[in-house]
Amino acid sequence: MEIKLPLPAVISILHRVSGVLLFFPGIPILLYSLQMMLDSPQSHDDFHAILGCIPVKMGLTVLLWFLMHHLCAGIRHLALDLHYGEGKEQARVSGRLVLIVGIILTILFGAIIWQTE
């Protein structure tokens, strides 16, 4: 049996999954990065060296997408709380918008990750 999930359901599940992955490993990675950046000139250089690895860049890009999707889906959530866009068609459009904007923002900010050598 095949169950076809409507788009808003996919957005909602992604909101949960991204939330869990931002909690772990997201938060410790963020704290570790900040610590490396600020601890000493040596640790700052070490961090840049780690950032130079392609697998690290890829991992951070995925995390960045989780963050951007979670942020956009959260804003949609707040709008729905305030009774904006509650119609079925509107909810479908805003759901699509969340997916697209999340990906665009990931590409935009991901460029910073990929420019770092």
Partner 1 sequence: MANRIVTGAHYGLIDWLAQRVTAVVMAIYILLAITLLLIFSPDDYSSWKTIFSNQWMRIVTLIFFLSLCWHAWIGVRNILMDYIHKTSIRLTIQVLVIFSLFFYAVWAIEIMWG
- Contacts of residue 80, defined as CB under 8 A and 6 or more positions apart, other chains included, come to 86, 91
8 Å CB contact between 107 and 42: no
Shortest Å distance, C-beta 13 to partner 1: 11
Shortest Å distance, C-beta 35 to partner 1: 5
Which of 19, 99, 22 shows the shortest CA–CA distance to 63? 22
Measured from the CB atom, the residue of 19 and 85 that comes closer to partner 1 is: 19
Shortest Å distance, C-beta 74 to partner 1: 5
Measured from the CB atom, the residue of 75 and 93 that comes closer to partner 1 is: 75
Measured from the CB atom, the residue of 21 and 92 that comes closer to partner 1 is: 21
What are the b/e assignments for 14-31, b being 16+ CB within 10 Å?
A: bbeebeeebeeebeeeee
8 Å CB contact between 106 and 61: yes
Shortest Å distance, C-beta 89 to partner 1: 25
Kindly list the residues in this chain that would bind partner 1 in the complex (CB under 8 A): 16, 19-20, 22-24, 27-28, 31, 34-35, 37-38, 40-41, 44-45, 71, 74-75, 78, 81
Measured from the CB atom, the residue of 33 and 61 that comes closer to partner 1 is: 33
8 Å CB contact between 102 and 66: no
